[in-house]
Structure 1
């Protein structure tokens, strides 16, 4: 079960949308299935005609504590509104839950997240609305009824995720992974709709890819900015009084606000590992290195070494930190994006597997640094030739080595219960297998994909939880 929370100010507008026909007439039989006082059916708005419900009594009741608290629905006073809006959705293939089951789900989520306790009669007012088979919406006004004081739930996001996992177990739903902070921020609805109107992919997605490629190709902030500007992007660097760079933001040409200003994204808004401090650490780990005559072959040897190291760790031996090797492997995939669309897609799929859960210390050793150096040389080799990296025998050998490494990383992630990262690594390996076996009509002696090192049971594809947007 995937949950998502957003904050707002206008509970009336939210209820009107949830109980209305939807933007594309997609809402089917919208109805109230649970409320704060247990009188669920009482708050179901009567229908005065075929197209509109009488929402006034429900909206006024929900709004009453906020009005008593003197809160402004215009959202002028602060950035985060007092309306807590949670959507909860089951996975494709899960059974259709009844209204009564969804009502109990709503109460469990609110209680588990600490937003509205079951035994708290003076808690906030809320309503759960259903207008589709696979999901519900819960709207809560974060003002207590007994004191008319506004409040913020403590750690509601991770607690909500844990409550959802308990519901999955109870109802026999698809099991999803715990939130781990590795997901890149997804484009918002406004970004998606804007991109659709322009006939382009969302700016956030394009910029994250461009920033990552520029980071791999660069050896420091100055070259990084030069590469991005050379690709046509707008870059602004935030500097300390000493002149040292502290951060950056980037914009896509032509992506403007309503007032005509560029829409900038900081690196940390694009992905957890794209902030300037993170990039500086990666550049320091890679060092300057030296130019390589044959970076593709060298990359294959270093990837092989990384695979053996991860396998050693999985088998209980001493090896380099797989966290750092996974991150460095992503730079090699990024450097090879220009070889074909399969290479590019594999890099995108592996993206999440390359990031460590929040709070995890990552130690990059010599193997990770060597892969980062060779990734930079791969990009520079491509530029020097003026064409994509030649996907000949050396490119196929590199693909074979990377498939083996990605599968080893997937197994290592699975050993640690990281379903999102394991799925991302396996998905990338599956896609890259097509590159690795594409020379089947021209077999190259000695090219076989090693199996993952034996270790704890990691499950099959059927057992793996889908990688959803959990944070």
Structure 2
């Protein structure tokens, strides 16, 4: 069971939406299943038309304490540049897995009552608790709406750590009702796209939201760079708009000139703008906690830098790579992944194993970057990367506490592989070799998480492994060429590469021509 919590101001708008047909007529059988007074049948809104209900009495009853206390239920006017304060309307959705049994209204009512008690919004047998209502309009979830004003004294309520308490409620319901187990809150997970972001992506005719695309491009740039300046340059080459943030200047020891170090950055996708026509910026930390600049610098310092490719121009971050260096980087990546796989298979489940799992995320990013963005398996590997990202995190931490020599070697090989930019035409099956070696490593990560009793992460790793294996044939048919010890092919041509971007339609191709570059 998963809980999502939000705050707002308009109780009437929320209730009308929950009891309404939904944006796409997805709401069916709308009904109140639980209320603050234990009498949901007395608060059932009468049906006004075939697809609407008269919710005025329900809204009035829910809002009565706030109205009596003079607590506003409309957004206040705030000065420009200041943040909107949190509203008194509390909303929580509780959703089960599709594989879970369908709960009865009475079972959902018990879960919601437990949620209200744990969060302190309405303790059991507390006559002064806040008023709340639970509405169900689907088999697998319910919505809880509460007005955070106590009934008798009219005092505002501010739930303490309600996200944590909601997670505890879900875990307790899973154990009691035999539902699929979910992981505890690890404080390191990434923020998924909001419904508004998904709808905006659909309007722009792109196949992933700006948040998801920027997160993916930041990970690619992170394995192609070794310092902030190269990171910004790599992002610009990937078509990302970059806005670096600099700290106060520091005097240089030799020249005496003041040097302002880069302390953060924000990213925007070309074509994703606000109503005022300004880019929609995402700070690196909001994309993922391990993508903040301090954590990126810690990651870059966790392993020795790979040797520069032969013939690389010192002034360019994007060096030309010889066929020999490319073949050596591919062989090194496969060999390092096989060694990491054997290390995990030997049964190590400590902090060093967590380091290997995290470094595998860099390797997947590097493999995805060099095997091409337009082949049939690209989208499959993208989803496999999202699953592996979940499996590589350490609960409660951003980065592992220890990097073993195997983890360092794996990360170093990923950086070396990413520097080649592409597998090129140096042997049919190079891409498949990389993907299959990575799939074997991910399978051991799944076994590691299983042994650590991190079941949700184990499931994510298994999904990633399945996706990688299914994408290997597409990768194999895409790569072609000749090289030492490889079969020469002449019937296949290398597909034309197009710039990366969050779009695949005509609009996306036009947007991808806009590239940002920061300094």
Relative to the length of structure 1, the TM-score reads: 0.86
Unaligned runs of 5+ residues in structure 1 are 446-471
> Contact conserved, 2:242 with 2:265, CA < 8 A, in 1?
yes
Q: CA shift at 1:405, angstroms?
A: 1.9
Structure 2 residue corresponding to 1:139, chosen from 137, 140, 145: 145
Q: CA shift at 1:343, angstroms?
A: 4.4
Q: CA shift at 1:349, angstroms?
A: 2.8
Structure 2 residue corresponding to 1:97, chosen from 87, 93, 103: 103
| Equivalent residue number for residue 456 of structure 1 | none
> Contact conserved, 2:330 with 2:417, CA < 8 A, in 1?
yes
1:378 has 2:417 as partner = yes
> Contact conserved, 1:324 with 1:363, CA < 8 A, in 2?
yes
What are the superposed Cα offsets for residues 147-168 of structure 1, whole Å, 9 maximum, x if unpaired?
Answer: 2121222222122122112212
- Rounded to whole Å, the distance in 2 between the matches of 1:307 and 1:394 is 19
- Rounded to whole Å, the distance in 1 between the matches of 2:240 and 2:473 is 36
1:362-373 counterparts in 2 under 5 A? 362-373=401-412
| Equivalent residue number for residue 17 of structure 1 | 17
Q: CA shift at 1:41, angstroms?
A: 1.3
1:33-432 counterparts in 2 under 5 A? 33-76=33-76, 78-200=84-206, 201-242=208-249, 243-291=260-308, 293=325, 294-314=328-348, 321-337=352-368, 338-339=370-371, 340-341=377-378, 342-359=380-397, 361-382=400-421, 388=424, 392=428, 394-432=430-468
| Equivalent residue number for residue 312 of structure 2 | none
Distance 1:388 1:79, change over 3 A: farther
Distance 1:405 1:169, change over 3 A: same
- Superposition RMSD in Å: 2.5
Distance 1:283 1:260, change over 3 A: same
> Contact conserved, 2:351 with 2:401, CA < 8 A, in 1?
no
Q: Tell me the secondary structure at the aligned position of residue 52 of structure 2.
A: coil
Distance 1:363 1:64, change over 3 A: same
What are the superposed Cα offsets for residues 190-218 of structure 1, whole Å, 9 maximum, x if unpaired?
Answer: 10111111111211111111111011100
Q: Tell me the secondary structure at the aligned position of residue 256 of structure 1.
A: coil
- Rounded to whole Å, the distance in 2 between the matches of 1:320 and 1:150 is 45
> Contact conserved, 2:135 with 2:143, CA < 8 A, in 1?
yes
